[in-house]
Amino acid sequence: MGRYVIRRLLQMIPVFIGATLLIFLMVNVMGDPIAGLCGDRQCDPATAAQLEKEFGLDKPVWQQYLTYMGNVFTGDFGTAFNGQPVTELMATAFPVTIRLTLVAIFFEIVIGITLGVVTGLRRGRPVDTSVLLLTLVVISVPTFVTGLLLQLLLGVEWGWIKPSVSTDATFGELIVPGLVLASVSLAYVTRLTRTSIAENKRSDYVRTAVAKGLPHRRVVTRHLLRNSLIPVVTFIGTDIGALMGGAIVTERIFNIHGVGYQLYQGILRQNTQTVVGFVTVLVLVFLVANLLVDLLYAVLDPRIRYA
């Protein structure tokens, strides 16, 4: 088990370097890193040259990358367009997005798994068919459309929620945005749970459990669910990273000042440091979530633990 963890950790290092380098290159090569530094005006040549020197932009890209990563590991993510350190932006943005992600994960677990179990156990019945159709529709409608529609209906037409979220972004305000963020994954969790349950329901060991004379409830909870939820739990784990990175659209619709909002601002204003900084952290979160999921997998499935 220990060696397994170490091997996973080692595998993540090149992925981390590669992903951050890729983003770094995209931002630096494609854009003009100092364009955003002089506010909305074009920088005059003298200032531009000075800024280039100051940020080390006259050096080769790989050297810039190394310098940047060196700074990151000492906790220096650079400064945002408004002169604020990027770390300060992160300190305000990440808690909001983490809350949003938590709400989304909560919906995935509660609604997704419940629907999946119900439909998996009643395959082919009307409940199953309608839920299945509904998940397809949810998957097909892009998140930004779902978001706009819910905002229109709940926020504007019926007035159940405020159409945009305040800067506090409390859990209460994040319920609908969380649902929107979760929607596609939620539909997928439903389908995954359903398939898993339906497949395992026909398995030999469930038949054994029935032949042992166990009550139906015990067959389902102890034998069927325990096995069927392994892939679902691991999916939800890996989804954490994807949700945080995918929150841009949701945050834009509901005007939530989280990671997606800051990233969007950073990109609009072409502020390299903000963009690369946030993306670096997101990639890190994604990798850590993946690692945790692999460990969780081993905990849940003894066949992997002892392999």
Partner 1 sequence: MLLEVRDLQVEFRTRDGIAKAVNGVSYAVDAGETLAVLGESGSGKSVTAQAVMGILDIPPGRITGGEILFQGRDLLKLKEDERRKVRGAEMAMIFQDALSSLNPVLSVGDQLGEMFVVHRGMSRKDARTKAVELMDHVRIPAARERVKDYPHQFSGGMRQRIMIAMALALEPALIIADEPTTALDVTVQAQVMDLLAELQREYHMGLILITHDLGVVADVADRIAVMYAGRIVESAPVHDIYKAPAHPYTRGLLDSIPRLDQKGQELYAIKGLPPNLMNIPPGCAFNPRCPMAQDVCRTDVPPLYEVSGERRSACHFWRECLHD
Partner 2 sequence: MPEPTPEPEPRLPDAHVPGPARTPQEGAIADTGAGGTMDLATAEGESLEKTPGGPLGTGPAEKPRSLWSDAWRDLRRNPVFIVSGLIILFLVFISLWPGAITWMSPLKCDLAKAQEGSQPGHPFGFDGQGCDVYTRTVYGARTSVSVGVCATLGVALLGSVLGGLAGFFGGAGDSVLSRITDIFFAIPVVLGGLVLLSVVTSNTIWPVIGFMVLLGWPQISRIARGSVITAKQNDYVQAARALGASNSRILLRHIAPNAVAPVIVVATIALGTYISLEATLSYLGVGLKPPRVSWGIDISAASPYIRNAPHALLWPSGALAVTVLAFIMLGDAVRDALDPKLR
Which residues inside 271-290 make contact with partner 2, applying CB under 8 A? 275, 279, 282-283, 286-287, 290
The CA radius of gyration of the chain, in Å to the nearest whole number, is 23
Q: Taking CB under 8 A as the rule, does residue 7 contact partner 1? A: no
Q: For residues 221 and 219, what is the distance between their CA atoms, to the nearest angstrom?
A: 6
Q: At what angle do helices 114-121 and 175-201 cross, to 10 degrees?
A: 30
Q: Footprint of partner 2 on residues 171-210 (CB under 8 A)?
A: 184-188, 191-192, 196, 199-200, 202-204, 207
Stretch that binds partner 2, among 55-63, 77-85, 213-221, 224-232 (CB under 8 A): 224-232
78: its two tokens: 């650079």
**Among residues 208, 221, 268, 288, which is the contact residue for partner 1, using CB under 8 A?**
208
Partner that binds at residue 152, options partner 1, partner 2, none, CB closer than 5 to 8 Å by kind: partner 2
Judged by beta carbon distances under 5 to 8 A according to partner kind, the member of partner 2, partner 1, none in contact with residue 114 is none
Among partner 2, partner 1, none, what does residue 306 contact (CB within 5–8 Å per kind)?
partner 1
Side chain identity, residue 206: V
214 binds, among partner 2, partner 1, none (CB under 5 to 8 A by kind): partner 1
SS3 306: coil
Q: Which is nearer to partner 2, 136 or 170 (CB)?
A: 136
Identified binder of partner 2 from the candidate list 177, 246, 258, 277, rule CB under 8 A: 246
CB closer to partner 1, 170 vs 208: 208
* d(C-alpha 91, C-alpha 81), whole Å: 16
Minimum separation from the CB atom of position 113 to partner 1 (A)? 17
- Give CA–CA dist 278/26, Å, rounded: 14
Dihedral, 95, 96, 98, 99 alpha carbons, nearest 10: 110
Is residue 213 a contact residue for partner 1 (CB under 8 A)? yes
Map residue 5 onto helix, strand or coil: helix
249 binds, among partner 1, partner 2, none (CB under 5 to 8 A by kind): partner 2
Does position 218 interact with partner 1 (CB under 8 A)? The reply is: yes
Chain positions 230 to 259 lying near partner 1, rule: CB under 8 A, are: 230
- Does residue 302 bind partner 1 (CB under 8 A)? yes
| 300 forms part of the interface with partner 1 (CB under 8 A) | yes
Kindly indicate which of the ranges 16-24, 72-80, 90-98, 164-172 contains the residues binding partner 2, using the contact rule CB under 8 A: 16-24
CA distances from 286 to 6, 112, 244, 289, 292 (A): 18, 22, 9, 5, 10
Binder to partner 1 among 99, 194, 223, 257 (CB under 8 A)?
223
CA 75 to chain centre: 23
Write down the H helix ranges in the chain.
2-25, 45-54, 61-73, 86-107, 114-121, 126-140, 143-150, 175-201, 204-211, 216-218, 226-253, 259-268, 272-300, 302-305
From 39-47, 172-180, 200-208, 264-272, give the range in contact with partner 1 by CB under 8 A: 200-208
Q: How far apart are CA 1 and CA 179, in angstroms?
A: 37
Q: Which residues bind partner 1 (CB under 8 A)?
A: 202-205, 207-215, 218, 222-223, 226-227, 230, 300-303, 306
